[in-house]
Amino acid sequence: MKKADQDAVLAYLEDRMRGDWKEMTLDEKKAAWFVYYGAWGARAPDVEQVTGKGMGTFIKVGLAFTLGLTGYMVSKDLMASDEDKVTV
């Protein structure tokens, strides 16, 4: 949202909050709550930190899966008899 639009919304909400809150719609109350308590501006989560944490987990799970699959294939090959082994 553009800065001018943000300022217009904030001005509108501030004007509505000066009056009786019972006259505000539910959406206006939700918007007012988000403006003052929501995760935006200084309260916004650090995107790099969240992304980095998720990427690290993804890499660890992928590495564990790859090592597990490799171990399974090696153990399967070691347990197979000479007749069962496939050679190219």
How do residues 39-77 score in pLDDT, each as one tens digit? 776 667 766 555 666 778 888 999 999 999 999 998 888
Are 20 and 35 in the same domain? Answer: yes
**pLDDT greater at residue 55 or residue 28:** 28
**pLDDT greater at residue 81 or residue 20:** 20
Per-chain mean pLDDT for the chain: 83
**Cβ neighbourhood burial of 11 (10 Å; 0-12, 13-18, 19+):** exposed
Are 39 and 52 in the same domain? Answer: no
The pLDDT of residue 11: 92
Structural domain range at position 3: 1-44
Are 68 and 85 in the same domain? Answer: yes
Burial 27-65 (b: 16+ CB within 10 A, else e): eeeebbeebeeeeeeeeeeeeeeeeeeeeeeeeeeeeee
pTM beyond 0.75: the answer is no
The pLDDT of residue 41: 66
Are 1 and 40 in the same domain? Answer: yes
What is the number of domains present in the chain? Answer: 2
Are 58 and 77 in the same domain? Answer: yes
